[in-house]
Structure formats: structure tokens, C-alpha cells
Amino acid sequence: MSKPEKPTNSKPTGLFFGSFNPIHNGHLCIAEYMIEYGGLREVWFVLSPQNPLKDKTSLLSDYARLELVQTAIADDVRFRVSDIEFHMPRPSFTIDTMARLSEKYPDRSFVLIAGTDVLPTFHKWKNWQQLINLYRFMIYPRESGLDHELLSHPSFELLDAPKIEISSSFIRKTLLNGKSARYFMPDSVYRLVDKYGYYLR
């Protein structure tokens, strides 16, 4: 099976899905790598209000996380944030979001950005086979999933990106334990997290 083709007049746009709870420097490093080394013009952070495969007990409110992402990327024209899933049925599924975005922005060729750690559970995604037949995936390495069979599929491209193991869960745990996580986040994000006491309970 051949790779999905991009329209000749398209703008290569990476879609970085996530709860960003909170957004941190690792997310931004990955997004920048995908632009500088992956040939993308822009990266859009697609904020997920509810990931059906994740526990939401520690999830900050939708609009609080949106504000954190907006703050983090405010001075970089290569990045945008999308709240499209806020206005869709929940839980949100990637295949439905992709259909909505492709309809709304027909001049763009979308590429999904994900880590190898999603591959072991990728078969649980709604219509996952349709997803890989319609869209390209740019994959960055994480500790798990590096030998997954999907990496041999023509729609998947594993980039030789540095492994960045900063995680939102680590930051939340650090803050909950009363420790500083200041340098794991952009300063503007840290100031908001500190101002509102996010993740302290």
C-alpha cells in the first residue's frame, strides 16, 4: 500500500493531539523538531477535552488548559492551537476530528504527530485502519513502542528525534508533592500554574 498523497497545493500542517495537562517544554521541543526536521510549515496543538483512553480525574478544565497552550505558543507564528474538539461530541475520536478539520481546511494536507508510546494501543482507536489509509503519521521516539510493527507501514515515518521524557503526569505529581517544576514549562505557563495553584489537589 502506498503512502497517502498530499495535494499539490497543500500546506503541510502537523496536528499534535493531546490533553496538554499541562503543556510543557517537551511538547514544544517536539513541535519545533517536526518543523525544522520534518518539513512541516506549521504545527497545530489540537486540545482534547477528553481522551477516551485516559483517566480524567486529574484533568484541568478545558479552558484553563487552552489558556496555558495559548500562553505557551503566543510568540511563535509557526504554532497554533485548535479547540475544535471542544465543539464536538464527547469523548472525542481522532478519526472524527480529522474529518471535521479536512472539511474545514481543504487546502491543507494534515500530518498527525504522535509518539511511539501510542502504537501499542493504536488498534483501540476508532476506525484506526481508515486513519492510516487516509493520513500520514510523523512519529517521535519514546521508551515504548519502538519496535512496533506499524512503524513499517508506509504511512508512518519514525523521525530520529531526541527522546524527551518530560511528561505532564510527572509535572502534576511534582507540583502535588510541593516541589518545583518551574523549568519543565515555559515561564509564561509556569506563572499561570503558580498564580492559580493548578495541580495542587
Number of domains in the chain: 1
For residue 38, being part of any structural domain is answered with yes
Q: Look up residue 141 and give its DSSP letter.
A: -
For residue 41, being part of any structural domain is answered with yes
Closest of 108, 117, 173 to residue 140, by C-alpha: 117
Residue with cell 476508532: 126
- Domain housing 99: 11-196
pTM reported for the whole predicted model: 0.91
Cα 65 from Cα 199, distance rounded (Å):
12
CA 154 to chain centre: 21
For residue 162, being part of any structural domain is answered with yes
For residue 187, being part of any structural domain is answered with yes
Q: Are 17 and 94 in contact (CB under 8 A)?
A: yes
For residue 2, being part of any structural domain is answered with no
For residue 152, being part of any structural domain is answered with yes
Q: What is the pLDDT along the chain (201 residues), one digit of tens a residue?
A: 555 554 444 569 999 999 999 999 999 999 999 999 999 999 999 999 976 666 667 799 999 999 999 999 999 999 999 999 999 998 889 999 999 999 999 999 999 999 999 999 999 999 999 999 999 999 999 999 999 999 999 999 999 999 998 999 999 999 999 999 999 999 999 999 999 999 998
CATH number, residue 85: 3.40.50.620
- Alpha helix ranges (H) inside the chain: 25-38, 62-73, 94-104, 128-134, 168-176, 187-196
